[in-house]
Amino acid sequence: MSQREWVEKDFYKELGISSSASQDEVKKAYRKLARDLHPDANPGDTKAEERFKAVSEAHAVLSDTAKRKEYDETRKLFAGGGYGRGGFAPGAGGGFSQEFNVGDIFGGANAGDSGLGDLLGGLFNRGGTRTASRPRRGADVETETTLGFREAAQGVTVPLRMTSPSPCTTCHGSGAKPGTSPRVCPICNGTGVVSRNQGAFGFSEPCDECRGSGSIIDDPCADCRGSGIQNRTRTITVRIPPGVGDGQRIRLAGQGEAGLRGAPSGDLYVTVHVSQDKVFGRNGDDLTVVLPVSYSELVLGTTVSVPTLDGRVGVKVPPGTADGRILRVRGRGVPKRDGGAGDLLVTVKVAIPQKLDGDAVEALERYQQAERSSGFDPRAGWAGA
């Protein structure tokens, strides 16, 4: 069964129970109805047969806690929700997000705003549905963290401390005093909307009785005053994937603010700052490093041990290497998300000694003579300039 069908079917109503009914109540209601409506007990009664099928379908979803949760979330996003805010004003940066990712609901890619309109247009045949069915999903939360260069390159698990609304621990987000549960709004039957007829036209409006939430709390939880939400400081441990760059924003689905009365949570966006490293730089997935070398090492060639993110690697400098040349070591750069890694780019840079002792100076002077007599002219390209 598709989630679209879920939006249109009220399984709770089918079983005659409230949306907060326990698994036991689901089972009991189903057993009774199944007995009453069973085709064997109602031979030839097509209506009873239809009902029996519907009740069985409702039971199949509601008796499975995982399916039930998914069903609840799907329906809360589209139906019954979001007209009123139940008098609840979320904390700093508050306001419920009007935009949401359709992909989160239907499991596809982000269908974008127009896609959402199309979907809703197909689902509901009532005016103004798009704005009216604004979900009560929790707001997205933005936060920042600063990582060391190597942490960012290799991936790291960091604790993030945040204060944001979370499901109330006393009532577990239901908003009802412990031991009680919200009941289905009798005016709108839990849909959050009421229809009014004016002449030839039918209008749907948010239900006044429950302020569009579809349920009524007779005995509000004292700790959250019925909102189902408390401000809480929490520390969550976040796994930052390898290869994240300075200024990049990471989305952690479902780690944002809690939704109202059990609606889905928003997402957490972490903007990552990456501190500089003394040795390494980055160019996308490539790790860059400047390798200081002496003149003689460039001329004669050598092999130098160069640091990498996870150890060291021997880099061969061929004889006659020009100053500033970049030597590439494949696969020793920054790890990529899809496996593999970028390259290590080693730039050779001549270091000039500021002081030499007598022997070295003498040797160098002898070398200079020999260089000239061998015909080497560093400014040969300037001939005629």
Select from 86, 176, 76 the least CA-distant residue to 133: 76
For residue 214, what are its two tokens? 């579809």
Question: Interface with Zn ion by CB under 5 A: which range of 4-12, 180-188, 264-272, 301-309?
Answer: 180-188
Asked if 207 touches Zn ion (CB under 5 A), the answer is yes
Asked if 188 touches Zn ion (CB under 5 A), the answer is yes
Asked if 189 touches Zn ion (CB under 5 A), the answer is no
Q: Where in 148-267 does DSSP place strands (E)? A: 156-167, 183-184, 193-198, 201-206, 215-216, 229-240, 249-252
Return the number of the residue (21 or 207) whose C-beta is nearest Zn ion: 207
Return the number of the residue (168 or 315) whose C-beta is nearest Zn ion: 168
Site string for Zn ion, 211-250 (x = CB under 5 A): ----------x-xx--------------------------
Contacts of residue 1, Cβ cutoff 8 Å, sequence gap at least 6: 57, 61
Smallest gap, in angstroms, from Cβ of residue 210 to Zn ion? 3
Return the number of the residue (141 or 221) whose C-beta is nearest Zn ion: 221
Instruction: Give the pairing of strands 268-274 and 183-184.
Output: unpaired
Q: CB–CB of 14/37 below 8 Å?
A: no
Contacts of residue 95, Cβ cutoff 8 Å, sequence gap at least 6: 139
Return the number of the residue (152 or 188) whose C-beta is nearest Zn ion: 188
Smallest gap, in angstroms, from Cβ of residue 216 to Zn ion? 7
Asked if 193 touches Zn ion (CB under 5 A), the answer is no
Smallest gap, in angstroms, from Cβ of residue 192 to Zn ion? 6
Asked if 329 touches Zn ion (CB under 5 A), the answer is no
d(C-alpha 359, C-alpha 354), whole Å: 15
The burial of 247, by beta-carbon neighbours within 10 Å (0-12 exposed, 13-18 middle, 19 or more buried), is given as exposed
Question: Interface with Zn ion by CB under 5 A: which range of 101-109, 141-149, 200-208, 375-383?
Answer: 200-208
Select from 166, 160, 109 the least CA-distant residue to 271: 160
Asked if 268 touches Zn ion (CB under 5 A), the answer is no
Asked if 210 touches Zn ion (CB under 5 A), the answer is yes
Asked if 70 touches Zn ion (CB under 5 A), the answer is no
Query: What are the C-alpha distances in Å from 137 to residues 66, 191, 227, 366?
Result: 19, 16, 13, 80
Return the number of the residue (57 or 205) whose C-beta is nearest Zn ion: 205
Return the number of the residue (114 or 233) whose C-beta is nearest Zn ion: 233
Q: In what order do the strands lie in the sheet with 268-274?
A: 141-147, 268-274, 249-252
For residue 82, what are its two tokens? 């979001």
Smallest gap, in angstroms, from Cβ of residue 91 to Zn ion? 16
* Contact footprint for Zn ion (CB under 5 A): 168, 170-171, 185, 187-188, 207, 209-210, 221, 223-224
